[in-house]
Amino acid sequence: MPNIYALPAPKLPTFGLGSQPAVGPVGRCRDQIVTAVAQRQWNKGLGPINGLRKSLGLSPLHDFWDQVRRARKILVLTSRGFDFPAQLPDNVRYVGPVLDDPNWAKGRPWTLPPGGHPVALVAMSTTFQDQIDCLQRVIDAVATLPIRGIVTAGPALDPTSLYARANTIIESAAPHSEVLTQASVVVTHGGHGTVVRALAAGVPLVVMPHGRDQADNAVRVTTRNAGVSINRNAQPATIAAAVRRILDDPRYRQAAKKLGRSIRRDAASGALVTELETASVVSQRPAPNRADASVFGCGDE
């Protein structure tokens, strides 16, 4: 799993809703109802899956997610300190995030607007999420502040579709690991890769979730006081106020640095390589039951 743990689990809010952990019986009832409704929708796909499993001599599943749960290991590519605590199956391993810059950004030249004002890194999704208008509103917000902005458009957008302001530079791509050494705040859609890289660098965030896991990442940031979350449709004045709030209150940066220490520690632990090497050894042995064969999955950032 290339982000937080995504399957239903006791004490874990339902994936995709940006909910905080349940508190008290009302919160637990909320999670049970939402999880049950979501599960009914997913289980509509059980027929085709079980038909395929039957053709392969495998036993039927009773739950859509059991196909994943039967993996020998489920490797979660984030820090346990970033995710919310929950009762997870014994085959789940938190192995830390991958903090490397993507290949399309490594070694790319980049510049900052001149001056000595604080730097804001603005980065939305590397895939298209209809984010051009949102990015432009962020650029317009940055224009009203005594800061310098660097915007990375990413491979899904044409940077010429955005209009720079006097204190903003737009790059098609830049290595965030380098930019973050200069940044005081990150404004982002909340993708896991951008969020954990910012936190690993001790930089607080303004998160504008667009979908997918982004609201879940945002609530993990705000619960730890390492940033704020605002609506993706927020107007420039609201965005500017959120950025000022981060820059004016040092507690956000202190919280980001605290969370970043656990992220850096887990990323450098080597747990991912260790678990993969162990899985490779196990996978060479005959599986005792074909239904228990290893399953590996991955996704984009």
When pLDDT is averaged across residues 197-210 and rounded to a whole number, the result is 98
Report d(CA 184, CA 182) in Å as an integer: 7
Report the amino acid identity of residue 220.
R
- 174 band by pLDDT with thresholds 50, 70 and 90: very high
Q: What is the pLDDT of residue 286?
A: 53
Parallel/antiparallel/unpaired status of strands 205-207 and 183-188: parallel
Q: How does pLDDT run across 88-147, given as a tens digit for each residue?
A: 999 999 999 999 999 999 999 999 999 999 999 999 988 888 999 999 999 999 999 999
Q: How does pLDDT run across 61-96, given as a tens digit for each residue?
A: 999 999 899 899 999 999 999 999 999 999 999 999
- pLDDT surpasses 50 at 262: yes
- 51 band by pLDDT with thresholds 50, 70 and 90: very high
Q: How does pLDDT run across 15-35, given as a tens digit for each residue?
A: 988 888 888 888 888 888 988
Q: What is the pLDDT of residue 291?
A: 42
Report d(CA 287, CA 85) in Å as an integer: 31
**Mean pLDDT of all residues belonging to the chain:** 91
End-to-end CA distance of the chain: 10
- pLDDT surpasses 70 at 53: yes
Locus of tokens 């905080």: 20
- 217 band by pLDDT with thresholds 50, 70 and 90: very high
- pLDDT surpasses 80 at 294: no
Quote the percentage of the chain above a pLDDT of 70.
Answer: 93
Mind listing the domains of the chain with CATH numbers?
119-264 (3.40.50.2000)
What's the full length of the chain, in residues? 301
Is the pTM of the predicted complex or chain greater than 0.85?
yes
Q: Which residue has the higher pLDDT, 21 or 57?
A: 57
The stretches of 43-91 forming alpha helices (DSSP H) are 46-55, 66-69
Q: How many beta carbons lie within 10 A of that of residue 137, not counting itself?
A: 20
